[in-house]
Amino acid sequence: MGYLGYAIVAVDVVAAMAQQYPGDNWDDGASEKELGEVASVYNLQQVYPVCQDANGWEQWLTDHGPLLIQVPGYHSIVIGGVDRTPTR
């Protein structure tokens, strides 16, 4: 996970969260409750499945700051910025 020059790998997030919330099981993925704890600790705004283009994500980031996009039962994605550079 990286944001504003700060980077942390998933295993370090899991270790930190296990220390902070020892009653949760951090070794087999994360429940919605646990993802909420991660969002709180890392100051991320939780967003559940939403389809956006670059303009939409840029607006969400402007309005809410870094985002933790969640697809419960599948994966989570952290978005801290939008690169509007055209690609081929």
pLDDT class of 19 with cuts at 50, 70, 90: very high
The string of pLDDT tens digits covering residues 5-16 is 667 777 888 888
Give pLDDT tens digits for 34-80.
888 888 888 888 877 677 787 887 888 888 888 888 776 667 777 77
Strands in 16-61 per DSSP E: 45-47
The structural domains of the chain, with segments of one domain joined by +, span 2-79
Q: Are 55 and 73 in contact (CB under 8 A)?
A: no
